[in-house]
Amino acid sequence: MAFNSFAVLTNPQCQKEAAATASAVIGWTGIVPLVLGVQWLLLETMALAESVLDMRAIVDGKKIPIYKTPAQWRVRLSNGVQLLTSGAQSIESPGGFDYTTYEKILLFFEKNKSKYLRTMDIVEWDMQKTDPGFHMEDCVYAVEIESQASAGRLFSKLIVLVPTLFLPHSYSFTQKDARSY
Protein backbone atom coordinates (compact mmCIF):
# COMPACT_ATOMS: atom_id res chain seq x y z
CA MET A 1 0.00 0.00 0.00
CA ALA A 2 2.82 2.42 0.84
CA PHE A 3 4.53 1.93 -2.52
CA ASN A 4 1.21 2.21 -4.36
CA SER A 5 0.47 5.43 -2.45
CA PHE A 6 3.78 6.89 -3.56
CA ALA A 7 3.23 5.69 -7.14
CA VAL A 8 -0.24 7.22 -7.39
CA LEU A 9 1.02 10.53 -6.00
CA THR A 10 3.64 10.68 -8.76
CA ASN A 11 1.33 9.48 -11.54
CA PRO A 12 0.24 12.51 -13.61
CA GLN A 13 -2.81 10.78 -15.10
CA CYS A 14 -4.17 9.85 -11.68
CA GLN A 15 -3.37 13.35 -10.37
CA LYS A 16 -5.38 14.97 -13.19
CA GLU A 17 -8.35 12.64 -12.73
CA ALA A 18 -8.43 13.13 -8.95
CA ALA A 19 -8.07 16.90 -9.27
CA ALA A 20 -10.90 17.10 -11.80
CA THR A 21 -13.19 14.91 -9.71
CA ALA A 22 -12.41 16.78 -6.47
CA SER A 23 -13.04 20.13 -8.18
CA ALA A 24 -16.33 18.88 -9.61
CA VAL A 25 -17.54 17.44 -6.32
CA ILE A 26 -16.37 20.02 -3.77
CA GLY A 27 -14.96 22.92 -5.81
CA TRP A 28 -18.20 24.91 -5.51
CA THR A 29 -17.31 25.63 -1.88
CA GLY A 30 -14.21 27.59 -2.88
CA ILE A 31 -12.25 26.09 0.03
CA VAL A 32 -8.94 25.09 -1.54
CA PRO A 33 -7.67 22.94 1.38
CA LEU A 34 -10.92 20.97 1.29
CA VAL A 35 -10.55 20.37 -2.45
CA LEU A 36 -6.94 19.24 -1.93
CA GLY A 37 -8.04 16.94 0.90
CA VAL A 38 -10.69 15.31 -1.27
CA GLN A 39 -8.14 14.97 -4.09
CA TRP A 40 -5.71 13.23 -1.72
CA LEU A 41 -8.51 10.96 -0.47
CA LEU A 42 -9.38 9.97 -4.04
CA LEU A 43 -5.72 9.22 -4.81
CA GLU A 44 -5.41 7.03 -1.71
CA THR A 45 -8.61 5.22 -2.70
CA MET A 46 -7.01 4.40 -6.05
CA ALA A 47 -3.86 3.19 -4.27
CA LEU A 48 -5.94 0.95 -2.00
CA ALA A 49 -7.83 -0.54 -4.94
CA GLU A 50 -4.55 -1.18 -6.79
CA SER A 51 -3.16 -2.86 -3.65
CA VAL A 52 -6.18 -5.18 -3.53
CA LEU A 53 -5.55 -6.17 -7.15
CA ASP A 54 -1.87 -6.72 -6.35
CA MET A 55 -2.68 -8.96 -3.39
CA ARG A 56 -5.01 -11.06 -5.54
CA ALA A 57 -2.24 -11.52 -8.09
CA ILE A 58 0.42 -12.34 -5.47
CA VAL A 59 -1.79 -14.96 -3.84
CA ASP A 60 -2.27 -16.55 -7.27
CA GLY A 61 1.51 -16.79 -7.71
CA LYS A 62 2.10 -13.85 -10.04
CA LYS A 63 4.96 -11.37 -9.77
CA ILE A 64 4.20 -7.74 -8.94
CA PRO A 65 6.65 -4.81 -9.09
CA ILE A 66 7.32 -2.86 -5.91
CA TYR A 67 7.00 0.48 -7.64
CA LYS A 68 4.62 0.87 -10.58
CA THR A 69 5.12 3.13 -13.54
CA PRO A 70 2.12 4.98 -15.00
CA ALA A 71 1.97 2.36 -17.77
CA GLN A 72 1.60 -0.45 -15.20
CA TRP A 73 -1.12 1.33 -13.19
CA ARG A 74 -4.61 -0.11 -13.79
CA VAL A 75 -7.04 1.53 -11.37
CA ARG A 76 -8.76 4.78 -12.25
CA LEU A 77 -11.71 6.42 -10.57
CA SER A 78 -13.83 5.45 -13.57
CA ASN A 79 -13.01 1.70 -13.50
CA GLY A 80 -12.01 0.98 -9.85
CA VAL A 81 -15.32 -0.47 -8.71
CA GLN A 82 -15.64 -2.60 -11.85
CA LEU A 83 -12.10 -4.02 -11.43
CA LEU A 84 -12.67 -4.88 -7.78
CA THR A 85 -16.06 -6.52 -8.25
CA SER A 86 -15.08 -8.46 -11.37
CA GLY A 87 -12.23 -10.27 -9.61
CA ALA A 88 -9.61 -8.71 -11.90
CA GLN A 89 -5.93 -8.88 -11.01
CA SER A 90 -2.88 -6.76 -11.63
CA ILE A 91 -0.85 -7.66 -14.68
CA GLU A 92 2.18 -9.80 -13.91
CA SER A 93 5.49 -8.03 -14.26
CA PRO A 94 8.57 -10.03 -15.32
CA GLY A 95 10.81 -7.88 -13.11
CA GLY A 96 8.48 -8.05 -10.13
CA PHE A 97 8.53 -10.03 -6.92
CA ASP A 98 6.45 -13.04 -5.95
CA TYR A 99 4.87 -13.91 -2.60
CA THR A 100 7.97 -15.48 -1.06
CA THR A 101 10.14 -12.48 -1.96
CA TYR A 102 7.68 -10.03 -0.39
CA GLU A 103 7.54 -12.30 2.65
CA LYS A 104 11.35 -12.26 2.95
CA ILE A 105 11.41 -8.48 2.69
CA LEU A 106 8.83 -8.13 5.46
CA LEU A 107 10.52 -10.73 7.68
CA PHE A 108 13.87 -8.97 7.28
CA PHE A 109 12.51 -6.02 9.26
CA GLU A 110 10.89 -8.19 11.95
CA LYS A 111 12.64 -8.87 15.27
CA ASN A 112 14.06 -12.37 15.75
CA LYS A 113 12.04 -13.06 18.90
CA SER A 114 8.81 -12.27 17.10
CA LYS A 115 9.79 -14.55 14.19
CA TYR A 116 10.52 -17.42 16.60
CA LEU A 117 7.21 -17.01 18.39
CA ARG A 118 5.26 -16.86 15.13
CA THR A 119 7.05 -19.97 13.88
CA MET A 120 6.16 -21.77 17.10
CA ASP A 121 2.51 -20.73 16.64
CA ILE A 122 2.48 -22.23 13.14
CA VAL A 123 4.09 -25.46 14.37
CA GLU A 124 1.55 -25.70 17.19
CA TRP A 125 -1.35 -25.01 14.83
CA ASP A 126 -0.10 -27.64 12.36
CA MET A 127 0.43 -30.26 15.08
CA GLN A 128 -3.04 -29.65 16.50
CA LYS A 129 -4.52 -30.92 13.24
CA THR A 130 -3.45 -34.43 14.21
CA ASP A 131 -3.35 -34.04 18.02
CA PRO A 132 -5.87 -31.44 19.28
CA GLY A 133 -4.29 -31.41 22.74
CA PHE A 134 -0.80 -30.46 21.51
CA HIS A 135 0.69 -27.27 22.97
CA MET A 136 4.22 -25.95 22.52
CA GLU A 137 4.41 -25.04 26.20
CA ASP A 138 4.35 -28.78 27.01
CA CYS A 139 7.45 -29.42 24.87
CA VAL A 140 11.09 -29.26 25.84
CA TYR A 141 12.30 -25.78 25.13
CA ALA A 142 15.92 -25.95 26.25
CA VAL A 143 18.80 -28.41 26.16
CA GLU A 144 22.13 -28.46 27.94
CA ILE A 145 24.88 -30.72 26.67
CA GLU A 146 28.16 -31.59 28.36
CA SER A 147 30.77 -33.63 26.52
CA GLN A 148 34.10 -34.98 27.72
CA ALA A 149 37.04 -36.28 25.73
CA SER A 150 40.40 -37.62 26.79
CA ALA A 151 43.56 -38.67 24.98
CA GLY A 152 46.98 -39.99 25.81
CA ARG A 153 50.15 -37.96 25.52
CA LEU A 154 50.72 -36.41 22.17
CA PHE A 155 54.47 -35.84 22.44
CA SER A 156 57.61 -37.93 22.99
CA LYS A 157 58.31 -39.63 26.33
CA LEU A 158 62.03 -38.92 26.16
CA ILE A 159 63.17 -38.09 29.67
CA VAL A 160 66.19 -36.20 28.39
CA LEU A 161 64.06 -33.66 26.55
CA VAL A 162 61.13 -33.14 28.90
CA PRO A 163 60.82 -33.93 32.59
CA THR A 164 57.73 -36.15 32.85
CA LEU A 165 57.11 -35.36 36.48
CA PHE A 166 55.34 -32.11 35.60
CA LEU A 167 53.41 -33.23 32.54
CA PRO A 168 50.16 -35.20 32.70
CA HIS A 169 50.02 -38.76 31.39
CA SER A 170 46.81 -37.98 29.49
CA TYR A 171 44.76 -34.97 28.43
CA SER A 172 41.11 -34.41 29.29
CA PHE A 173 38.72 -31.85 27.76
CA THR A 174 35.22 -30.84 28.90
CA GLN A 175 32.81 -28.73 26.85
CA LYS A 176 29.41 -27.42 27.98
CA ASP A 177 26.82 -25.82 25.72
CA ALA A 178 23.18 -24.85 26.11
CA ARG A 179 20.51 -23.86 23.58
CA SER A 180 16.92 -22.77 24.05
CA TYR A 181 14.06 -21.43 21.99
* Domain extents in the chain: 2-104, 142-180
Q: Which 8-state DSSP code applies to residue 64? A: B
Tell me the whole-structure pTM to 2 decimals: 0.59
Sorting pLDDT into bands at 50, 70 and 90, what band is 7? Answer: very high
Task: Determine the Cα–Cα distance for residues 89 and 76; give it in Å rounded to an integer.
Answer: 14
What Cα–Cα distance (Å) separates residue 105 from each residue in 96, 98, 110, 126? 13, 11, 9, 24
149-177 average pLDDT score = 66
Strand pairing of 142-152 and 170-180? antiparallel
In the chain, beta strands by DSSP E? 142-152, 170-180
Q: What is the mean pLDDT of the chain?
A: 83
Minimal CA–CA distance to 75: which of 43, 99, 102?
43
- How do residues 55-114 score in pLDDT, each as one tens digit? 888 888 888 888 888 888 888 888 888 888 887 776 777 778 888 888 888 888 888 888
On the question of pLDDT at 46 being above 80, the answer is yes
